[in-house]
Amino acid sequence: MKAIPTAIPDVVILEPKVFGDERGFFFESWNRRAFAEAVGRDVDFVQDNHSRSARGVLRGLHYQVVRPQGKLVRVVAGEVFDVAVDLRRSSPTFGRAVGVLLSAANRRQLWVPEGFAHGFLVVSESADFLYKTTDWYAPEHERSLLWNDPALGIDWPLAGLAPTLKPADAAGKPLAQAEAYP
């Protein structure tokens, strides 16, 4: 597993070693030891999630104010623009965002540690998105950071189109009003 740094040091792109031939391919999508070496810490994942979304669907930017979740995310069909926003007030990168393209073709994964808001925009016809979490979903603690807050400076690849959002995401809080972590 190759670790590729991002503009926010705690958010890491993970690229698997893929073995392929005329029959197809094989790679380890999860290896606890390799992950710990790549990101510098061992984690326990407690839940796996799978979503399918159509082109233009924007999910996020989500986080839990209690029981924060670290997420290891990947795409197994299609392509998304995936975003992590640092919500740790004590961090030198507080309020900064990083975005990367994840796809079935590039097989990359993104590690989004606890203390970050996370979201993605589907840029292919549809996308199947898988993610592991370090804590269980707690809907009473879920918050949405406003996806298009100018303070975040996220350059969503919308090509002039309006994204499809659930009402809670459309009503997300701007960074200046969002609950954050210490």
In the set 62, 63, 137, 141, the catalytic residue is: 62
Evaluate whether 132 touches 33 at the Cβ level (below 8 Å): no
Written as one string, the DSSP assignment of 18-66 is -EEETTEEE--S--HHHHHHHHSS-----EEEEEEEETTBEEEEEEESS
62 is catalytic: yes
In the set 131, 137, 141, 181, the catalytic residue is: 131
Question: Is residue 39 classed as helix, strand or coil in its secondary structure?
Answer: helix
Which residue type does 116 have? F
Catalytic residues: 62, 131
